[in-house]
């Protein structure tokens, strides 16, 4: 996979990945794909705090997952009138493992991991890779500074695809609730410019 820029327009693309705020299931470690779990009160506070981090940048586009936890995060961060739903930003489909933690699943399937194991009735790694790559190609066709409000596993998969062409490296990237990561270019090569930033540890340039 060639991860260099494909032309001058591609070099103008800067992707800001924003994970939604805390939910009851993110707090408990339950896999939350297609279940529409709302933000907790703390999650709402986290989302509001994002406005201070993001306000220093002008975004050409703001896209959000269709799930309410991501849409509400974008609204509380100050993008309610600008964010558009992008279906490709939805979280990994965990199939029969929806709502279960990794530790719980591993009692039945030792060494199970969403990154390396089968996901019956859901998405496996190749399917998520294909979805992330398709979204990247769409973003490259419409460059600019773009904010993507999404979820932990899919954002990690997207970042991995950005630099390596496959979602597999995402298993090595932690992404906290209401954190921000930035993807872009360095001398024409795709890079992760910043990772897992929170409002308390980000200093605007």
In three-state secondary structure terms, 186 is strand
Contact criterion met (CB below 8 Å) for 48 and 42: no
Task: Say whether 202 counts as a known binding-site residue.
Answer: no
Cα dihedral sign for 38, 98, 172, 79?
A: negative
Task: Say whether 92 counts as a known binding-site residue.
Answer: yes
Q: Which of 1-10, 11-20, 32-41 has the highest mean pLDDT?
A: 32-41
Choosing from 20, 31, 151, 153, the catalytic residue is 20
Bridge partners for 61 per DSSP: 146
Choosing from 14, 75, 86, 91, the catalytic residue is 91
pTM: 0.92
Task: Say whether 64 counts as a known binding-site residue.
Answer: no
20 is catalytic: yes
Task: Say whether 58 counts as a known binding-site residue.
Answer: no
CB neighbourhood size of 71 (10 A): 18
Task: Say whether 32 counts as a known binding-site residue.
Answer: yes
Task: Say whether 91 counts as a known binding-site residue.
Answer: yes
Exposed e or buried b per residue across 33-55, where buried means at least 16 C-beta atoms within 10 angstroms of its C-beta: beeebebbeebbebbbbbeebbe
- 123-171, pLDDT tens digit by residue? 999 999 999 999 999 999 999 999 999 999 999 999 999 999 999 999 9
Three-state secondary structure string covering 12-77: HCEEEEEECCCEHHHHHCCCCCCCCCCECHHHHHHHHHHHHHHCCCCCCEEEECCCHHHHHHHHHH
- 50-104, pLDDT tens digit by residue? 998 898 889 999 999 999 999 999 999 999 889 999 999 999 999 999 999 999 9
Alpha-carbon distance of 152 to 89, in angstroms, equals 11
| Helix H or strand E encompassing 163 | helix 152-164
pLDDT at residue 11, as a whole number: 56
91 is catalytic: yes
Alpha-carbon distance of 64 to 150, in angstroms, equals 6
Q: Is 110 buried (19+), middle (13-18) or exposed (0-12) by CB count in 10 A?
A: exposed
Confidence of residue 40 (pLDDT cuts 50, 70, 90): very high
Architecture of the domain defined by 10-201: 3-Layer(aba) Sandwich (3.40)
Residue 72 — φ and ψ, nearest 5°? -65, -35
């Amino acid at each position: 996979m060639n991860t260099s820029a494909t032309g001058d327009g591609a070099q103008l693309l800067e992707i800001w990945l924003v994970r939604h705020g805390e939910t009851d299931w993110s707090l408990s470690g339950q896999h939350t794909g297609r279940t529409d779990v709302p933000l907790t009160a703390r999650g709402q506070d986290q989302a509001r705090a994002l406005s201070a981090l993001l306000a220093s940048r002008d975004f050409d586009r703001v896209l959000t997952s269709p799930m309410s936890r991501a849409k509400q995060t974008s609204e509380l961060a100050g993008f309610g009138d600008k964010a558009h739903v992008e279906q490709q930003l939805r979280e990994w489909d965990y199939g029969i493992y929806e709502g279960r933690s990794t530790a719980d699943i591993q009692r039945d399937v030792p060494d199970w991991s969403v990154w390396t194991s089968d996901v019956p009735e859901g998405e496996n790694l190749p399917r998520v890779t294909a979805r992330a790559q398709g979204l990247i190609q769409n973003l490259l066709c419409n460059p600019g500074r773009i904010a993507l409000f999404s979820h932990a596993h899919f954002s990690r998969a997207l970042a991995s695809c950005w630099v390596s062409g496959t979602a597999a490296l995402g298993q090595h990237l932690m992404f906290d609730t209401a954190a921000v990561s930035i993807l872009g270019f360095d001398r024409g090569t795709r890079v992760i410019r910043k990772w897992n930033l929170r409002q308390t540890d980000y200093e605007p340039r």
